[in-house]
Amino acid sequence: MAATPLSSFWARPAARWGLAISAAVLGMVLSSVVTGLVVYHNTRQQVRVPNMDTRKVFEQGNATVVPAITTMGFDKIFVINLDRRPDRLAAMKELADFLRLDVTRLRASTADEALDDKGEPSTHRACWKSHMRIYTEVADNPALQTALVLEDDIDMEYDIQHITKRTMERLNKLDKDWDAMFLGYCSVPEKDKNKVVDEALSIYRSSSPVCTHGYAVSKRGAIKLLKKFKGYDQPVDLMLVDAIKQGKLNSYSLGKPAIIQYRYENDYSSINSDGSFGMTGDDLDMSTRDRIDLLKNWEL
């Protein structure tokens, strides 16, 4: 079969209309994609300040609306960070600014400040000590009823504010006496139907939420943990798991973590002596770090 010359093909009315419509649709798609990137690019430039304040901005008509900084319903959000890891602190500032989160840095205890029974520096004991200091502040400070505890090597779902708001509102209705809520962990996701308390929002009674990079604690929970964890005997995340399994901690978890541990390029663990990492958890549906990187690459 002979090929149809382009000139003859274009002469057909149906062909002209078909190509015109296809071109219009393609143009609209490309325009929306490019416009979306440019809007983020331009608005990010508008609000950039020297302290890495990369805030989200939404265009509404001719007005630029910057969402208010939030603690997502908690009285305080703590970020545990070692003095010798300013790189991680900078990355956490970038993440918090991008998501409009109001976070408070807690200087992490060092291994030299947490000697083991043999008088040797202990990174795991230092980690336990850092979390205990947060429990102490939540327990003792009248202004704090709840706190979100974050470590400095994390990524979050891009819609973390929405996820957290609906989760905590529902949890407070289901059980006002909750002690801990794990928004992030790195063990197997919760799937036990006997432990589900809200299937629609994927809220479960905690099973074994290993890792302590993203969880909330109430004043009631902090007081319990201070009493139970008075002496160090194992890594703090395993102490939490034991308390949950023993029925000593009223804890809940998301079925799928919304906060995960993040591995920076050429990074190393500040806790494990050999610098290696353990479990990291599942991937996110919408990574905030990926979106930050997209904006950075767009500016190049």
pLDDT at 299: 62
Phi-psi region of 101 (alpha: psi -120 to 50; beta: other; left: phi over 0): beta
- The neighbouring-strand residues paired with 113 are none
Instruction: Per residue of the chain (300 residues), give pLDDT as tens.
Output: 444 343 343 345 444 444 444 444 444 433 333 333 322 222 223 223 223 333 343 334 444 556 779 999 999 999 999 999 999 999 999 999 999 999 999 999 999 998 888 888 899 999 999 999 999 999 999 999 999 999 999 999 999 999 999 999 999 999 999 999 999 999 888 888 899 999 999 999 999 999 999 999 999 999 999 999 988 999 999 999 999 999 999 999 999 999 999 987 665 545 444 444 444 445 899 999 999 999 888 765
Q: What is the pLDDT of residues 125-146, one digit of tens each?
A: 999 999 999 999 999 999 999 9
SS in 3 state form for the chain?
CCCCCHHHHHHCHHHHHHHHHHHHHHHHHHHHHHHHHHHHHHHHHHHCCCCCCCCCCEEECCEEECCCCECCCCCEEEEEECCCCHHHHHHHHHHHHHHCECCEEEECCCHHHCECCCCCECHHHHHHHHHHHHHHHHHHCCCCCEEEEEECCEEEECCHHHHHHHHHHHHHHHCCCCCEEECECCCCCCCCCCCEEECCCCEEECCCCCCCCEEEEEHHHHHHHHHHCCCCCCCHHHHHHHHHHCCCCCEEEECCCCEEECCCCCCCCCCCCCCCCCCCCCCCCCEHHHHHHHHHHHHC
Residue 106 near residue 80 (C-beta atoms within 8 A): yes
The dihedral region occupied by 223, where left means phi > 0, alpha psi between -120 and 50, and beta the remainder, is alpha
* Predicted TM-score of the model (pTM): 0.75
Give the position of tokens 């274009």.
Answer: 10
Residue 265's pLDDT is: 66
| Confidence (pLDDT) at 51 | 35
- Residue 191 has a pLDDT of 85
Determine the pLDDT at residue 280.
45
Asked if 156 contacts 94 with a C-beta cutoff of 8 angstroms, the reply is no
- Residue 72's nearest CA partner among 137, 200, 164, 140 is 164
